[in-house]
Amino acid sequence: MREVTVTEAWKQKYPESIVLASSVDSAGIPNIISLGWSMCTSFVPPMVAISIGKNSL
């Protein structure tokens, strides 16, 4: 591990992936949200983990 400046840390962090998650409710109304965090949890079957705060609902 090595120390870096704040500027170097930001340069290493970005650009970052953005994920779009979509759903459709029982009435057929679509909903989509853009997410700044996701994580692969399985390749077979394909699954990802996402986190959505209550204030985003």
Asked whether the whole model's pTM tops 0.95, one would answer no
Contact 40, 54 (CB under 8 A): no
For the chain, which residues make up each domain, given as ranges?
6-56
Residue 3 Cα distances to 6, 13, 15, 44, angstroms: 10, 15, 21, 37
Taking alpha carbons only, the member of 47, 48, 51 closest to residue 37 is 51
**pLDDT at residue number 56:** 61
HSE-up of residue 24 (Cα within 13 Å, Cβ side): 3
Does the pLDDT value for residue 57 go beyond 70? no
State the pLDDT at residue 31.
93
